[in-house]
Amino acid sequence: MCRYFALIIGLTLWIGSALAQMPTVNVGVKPMTPRVPRSDLGITQQENSKLDWLLDAKFGMFIHWGIYASLAKGEWVMENEGISPEEYRKMAYPESGDLYFAADKFNADEWATLAKEAGMKYMNMVTMHHDGYSLFESKYMNAFTSKQTHNRDFVKEYVTACRKQGLKVGLYKTLINWRFPGYYDVNGTGCKPNKFGYTTDISHKENARLMKEELYCQTKELMTKYGKIDQIYWDGGWLGQQGSDADGAYFWESGKFQDPTSPWPVNPYFQDLDEKTGKPLGLMGMVRKYQPDVLVNSRTGWYGDYKCEEGSQTITGPVRTEEVCEKNMTMAWGWGYTPAHGDTTKLISCSGVKRMLADCVIRNMSLLLNVGPDRHGQITPEAQNVLRQTGKWLGKVGEAVYGTRGGPWNPKDGVYGYTYKGNTIYIYLLQDFKDSAFLLPAVNKGQKVIRAYSVTNGKNIDFKQNAKRETLLKGFGREDKVVTILAVVLDKTVLSK
């Protein structure tokens, strides 16, 4: 029996010794699978190079501002409380008293300066929400605009301020419009449930056509009056607040061309024609004609150049490679102004923004963070403070954020993740990381680590690269328990073989 055990032990030791001498099979750093642009409704997604600025920018300011700020109950208040268009309209005029959408302290330069101080690289402002109030001048005969009520084109002022600060320009535009009963009854034969008291009426079919026509007129105005537009955030593609955006594409005619047999034809006066075929252009056909480089999301029913992940939920999962993704969230309850935007117990903290931004960049995403200015046009001091604190942090760690790509390895939810740029890999250690050392996965054969340091303070940290090309980092501090960022510098670019 003893001889049998001795034989087994000897054989085990021999196998172990043999395995130790075998060359290590190590895949190293593999490039992420590149996105392949796809076509839908006659429109092809922008090529990858045209999305680089969004992936480089990483952080932007979303702005929801309009008449709804007067009621301080969020941007859906008109529909939530069933306020008729006639009553809602009154808040655009001084006679409404304390409910007046005064806009008397609106200063687009202050908004853009704050975005710059926060470390943001682009902005996106609501030009019209579902309430149908346009913050720009429009020639459409039934339009309800800030030019009529305040003799100001707020979008023009905003675009000018963005460019002054060197920020990319984004515009939000909804398709739907609660001012039109036809939105809930596009065929005039079956009105969808609503809080405005609209009921089935055959005239609603023509009313829906007018709503669509206003959209076409105003989209062309936004695409032609304000110079180069970098991003469009579409919203509200679904009909009667039912189904999906794709379900409503037949009505809006979201693709390249309009259907000459559509039951809701756009008046030729408001059509735009394709120069090659002479056919009337659909919504995205018109956008591409006037803004060939613009990036758009998917909420017209067309597939979209990039995808949105909306809400304050924690971001989890792998690096996003199939599509470019943008996280959209607001700093407090309500995308439009609510008292929560000025309440530090309900407002996201600087630590919260840092963590959300970190979760984005390690997955190759950008973060579009929303502010809700009040009826006077002011962003609350509390929100401004959070944004400026975030900007100070980005001033220290920006090299690990801007211009990077998520990876080259997938993150571990809540624990760690990576970005990289050039010959540097950045390691994001998150709140659930409890170890005192970190083992970096193997790099490619022939790559050597030549330096490791803390991104926050620039101090070198101890490292040792083993024969498997893994690198052990130790001796780093955790000054910031929310996000600690380390850098590992290679002698070659990260993806080089």
Q: Where are the domains of the chain?
A: 39-400, 407-490
Q: Is the dihedral of CA 400, 402, 404, 406 positive or negative?
A: positive
Residue position matching structure tokens 């120069």 = 275
Residue range 444-469: average pLDDT? 96
Q: What is the DSSP string of 126-154?
A: EEE-TT-EESS----TT-EEHHHHHS--H
CATH class, domain 39-400, is alpha beta
pLDDT above 90 for 11: no
Confidence (pTM): 0.93
pLDDT value at position 207?
Answer: 98
Q: 491 versus 27: which is more confidently predicted?
A: 491
Q: Is the dihedral of CA 14, 15, 17, 18 positive or negative?
A: positive
Q: Pairing between strand 449-454 and 483-490?
A: antiparallel
Local confidence band at 28 (pLDDT 50, 70, 90 cut-offs): confident
Q: 221 versus 33: which is more confidently predicted?
A: 221
Name the nearest CA neighbour of 328 among 341, 315, 338.
Answer: 315
Residue range 244-269: average pLDDT? 97
pLDDT value at position 3?
Answer: 41
Report whether CATH 2.60.40.10 matches the domain 407-490.
no
| List of residues 6+ apart from 309 with CB closer than 8 A | 315, 325, 326, 327, 328, 365
pLDDT value at position 497?
Answer: 79
Q: What is the mean pLDDT of the chain?
A: 94
Lowest-confidence region among 12-21, 97-106, 202-211, 234-243: 12-21
pLDDT above 80 for 386: yes
pLDDT above 90 for 485: yes
- Burial, 336: exposed, middle or buried (Cβ in 10 Å; 0-12, 13-18, 19+)? buried
Local confidence band at 87 (pLDDT 50, 70, 90 cut-offs): very high
- Burial, 104: exposed, middle or buried (Cβ in 10 Å; 0-12, 13-18, 19+)? exposed
Local confidence band at 27 (pLDDT 50, 70, 90 cut-offs): low
pLDDT above 90 for 318: yes
| Burial annotation 436-464 (CB, 10 A radius, 16+ → b, else e) | eebebbbbbeebebeebbbbbeeeebebe
Name the nearest CA neighbour of 319 among 236, 412, 238, 256.
Answer: 412
Q: 8 versus 129: which is more confidently predicted?
A: 129
